[in-house]
Amino acid sequence: DDITPTDTAAAGAGELTGVDRSLTNYGDTGFSRFIRRAFLSSAGLDADDVARPVVGIVNTTSDYTTCHRDMPQLIENVKRGVLEAGGIPFVFPVMSLGEILTNPTTMLFRNLMAMELEEQLKSQPMDAVVLLGGCDKTVPAELMAAASADIPAIQLVVGPMMVGSFRGERLGACTDCRRLWSDFRGGRMDEASIAEANAELAPTAGTCMVMGTASTMGCLIEALGIALPFAGTAPSVSSQRLRLGTATGRRAVELAREGLRPSQILTERAFKNALVVLSAIAGSTNAVIHLTAIAKRLGIELTLDDFHEAAARTPLLVDCKPAGSNYLPDMHRDGGMPALLKTLAPLLDLDALTVTGKTLGQLIADEPGPQPWQRVIRKLEDPLGGEGALVSLTGSLAPQGALIKAAAATPELMIHEGSAVVFDSLDDLEARLDDESLGIAPDDVLVMRNIGPVGAGMPEAGSIPIPRYLAQQGVRDMVRISDGRMSGTAYGTIVLHCSPEAAIGGPLGLVRDGDRIRLDVPARTLDLLVDETELARRRNELQLPEPPPRGWRRLYAERVTQATQGADLDFLQ
């Protein structure tokens, strides 16, 4: 009885404790094991079974998470892999976060999912865990949990959807959802056409197949080295996805035996590599928040400047929407992440250890390098776009920083001064945006506030729609500024994550209609051109919103950090 009832972390490298890990506490260790055997026996597990390494498999299947609808089949393959390698699989549910069926935003629940999973990883017997996710917030939540629990872990995702088709044109979720909707709003598409296109936007199981947050995180798990090669890009419906499930299950058993932990893989090196990849794919701005949060769980500080520096030396190489024109299955056919990592090798730290047990350099050693037929993954000498896909900004409107995805913005608006049109909430926006009497001009600056982490749980509402009457005149982009996020699938000249946010007294809360705002992306500045005495006067009059009355939303509003800090709960970092 050398295992204490509450022991979770004591099992070190290669030290398997199997079903005797995390014993239920009755004050009698022998009895705890005895009764546990009785109940495992009731589940059909005999002495041979319970002597094997235990591999937990996180099940994030839910009817509400349509992207994960193929996960049950993937789970069967992971289980097979675990059994083949001599382990015993335990599938267990964790709250599932589906982007499209969650109000107000899954971001409000990422930390809750991370907390739930961390506690399950610590309190249930597990020598290793397979983290199964896919839809946007599931992967960062799982990595945050695994980083904090620090038991051997390997990430797998369901993989991207296949591409749809509409009247001879390829379509996909959800960059084209946004483009078609703005065409409809602008009167360029009728009801019947948009209904027909709607059925093709998400034509198979899997995650959004543009370079949105799910695809970005899929690419980043390979860049971080916490998943097997091709885990990020193999389509959800492909047989390769199933084979990845089996291989991941097998590898998880080896991880249990080797005792290789997330903290040995998710090192500063790995994060620096991830930042380079994020720029080369012009990935989702949400990944900036997620990577910051995951890193902080391991005591690694990533600042907006780190993201900026990586972006400044990395050209845009992957031609996927919204920055380019293709889809994840196309990137996969071009060799997926191993091909991209090989291309990016001069910019990467190849000594980073991966979950395979090999370094990143060893892992891509046999990759052939850029091929003449590759179209979606471009060469370093022939990039799709220049450096600087993501630019961090500071200035009087965002003293702690803000972010713009320059790769998906309009070049002519990179330096722009205009008059503010301010919206105080999403209801306010909905009520007034299309009201022609507001007289919004194309060179005005749309400001959306109180949608930061504390203000509203940080919904993806930063890509404020173009007012209908301007859209009908052909205006496709305007400078838009908020303390919220935008979907990784969105595009436009959109400044996000303004920190500190309005709801905690940040300067965004002081802007009034007609104030001049200046954005200068090359100079990396975002300024409110109002003098300090006037701002001080407005600050005195400012009324901050009341926190939610109870429950998770209350805890969240009281303890969440700003976007630039990862928007984790302060006591989890």
What distance in Å separates the CA atoms of residue 357 and residue 366, rounded to the nearest whole number? 16
How far apart CA 254 and CA 143 sit, in angstroms, is: 19
Residue 208 within binding range of ligand FES, rule CB under 6 A = yes
- The encoded tokens of residue 191 equal 């009801």
Among ligand FES, Mg ion, none, what binds residue 487 when CB lies within 5 to 8 Å by partner kind? Mg ion
**H or E, element range at 56:** strand 54-59
State in angstroms the smallest separation of the CB of 485 from Mg ion: 9
Nearest 5°: the CA angle 391, 426, 468 is: 85
Considering only 44-52, 208-216, 399-407, 474-482, which stretch makes contact with ligand FES by CB under 6 A?
208-216
**Least Å distance between CB 177 and ligand FES?**
10
Name which of Mg ion, ligand FES, none residue 207 binds, using a CB cut-off of 5 to 8 Å depending on partner kind: ligand FES
Interface segment toward Mg ion; rule CB under 5 A; list 149-157, 205-213, 308-316, 411-419: 205-213
Residue 394 corresponds to which tokens in the numbers above?
A: 């500071």
Of the candidates 421, 379, 175, the residue with the CA atom closest to the CA atom of residue 284:
175
Segment 130 to 149, residues that bind Mg ion, using CB under 5 A:
136
Does position 254 bind ligand FES by CB under 6 A?
no
Give CA–CA dist 220/276, Å, rounded: 10
Write the interaction track for ligand FES spanning residues 15-54; mark x where CB under 6 A is met and - where it is not.
Answer: ----------------------------------------
**Alpha carbon of 432 to those of 135, 351, 422, 427, 568: distances in Å?**
32, 54, 10, 9, 33
CB of 101 to ligand FES, least distance (A): 9
Hey, which residues between 129 and 188 contact ligand FES (CB under 6 A)? Answer: 135-136, 173
Show Cβ contacts of residue 169 under 8 Å, excluding neighbours closer than 6 positions: none
**Strands 445-448 and 128-133, sheet pairing:** unpaired
Phi and psi based region of residue 450 (left: phi greater than 0; alpha: psi -120 to 50; beta: remaining): left
Choose between 205 and 223: whose C-beta lies nearer to ligand FES.
205
Q: How many CA atoms lie within 13 A of 558 on its CB side?
A: 9
Partners of 78 in the β-ladder: none
Q: Which of 96, 105, 213, 246 binds Mg ion (CB under 5 A)?
A: 213
Q: Applying CB under 6 A, does 222 fall inside the site for ligand FES?
A: no
Stretch that binds ligand FES, among 184-192, 205-213, 335-343, 430-438 (CB under 6 A): 205-213
Q: Which amino acid does the sequence have at 132?
A: L
Nearer to Mg ion, 262 or 462 (CB): 462
Question: Which residues, at least 6 apart from 307, have a Cβ–Cβ distance to it below 8 Å?
Answer: 275, 278, 288, 390, 392, 403
Sole binder of Mg ion in the list 487, 499, 564, 565 (CB under 5 A): 487
Q: Which of 54, 55, 67, 397 is close enough to bind ligand FES by CB under 6 A?
A: 67
In the complex, least distance from residue 212 CB atom to ligand FES, rounded to whole angstroms: 6
Residue 490 CB, shortest distance to ligand FES, in Å, is: 12
CB-based contact 430:442 (threshold 8 Å): no
Task: Please identify which residue in 211, 214, 403, 519 interacts with ligand FES, judged by CB under 6 A.
Answer: 214
Q: Which is nearer to ligand FES, 208 or 227 (CB)?
A: 208
Residue 78: contacted member of Mg ion, ligand FES, none (CB under 5 to 8 Å, by partner type): none
Q: Pick from 17, 22, 105, 207 the residue near ligand FES by CB under 6 A.
A: 207
Site residues for ligand FES, window 86-125 (CB under 6 A)? 99-100
Cα 2 to Cα 160: distance, rounded to the nearest angstrom: 46
Q: How far is the CB of 116 from ligand FES (least distance, A)?
A: 19
What does DSSP say about strands 479-482 and 164-166: parallel, antiparallel, or unpaired?
Answer: unpaired
- CB atoms under 10 Å from CB of 537, counted, come to 10
Q: Find the binding residues for ligand FES in span 333-392 (CB under 6 A).
A: none
CA distance 401 to 499: 6
How far apart CA 489 and CA 156 sit, in angstroms, is 21
Among 161, 130, 107, 136, smallest CA distance to 220 is for: 136
Report the residue from 159, 212, 336, 459 that binds Mg ion according to the rule CB under 5 A: 212
Binding site for Mg ion (CB under 5 A): 136, 212-213, 487
Binding site for ligand FES (CB under 6 A): 67, 99-100, 135-136, 173, 207-208, 212, 214
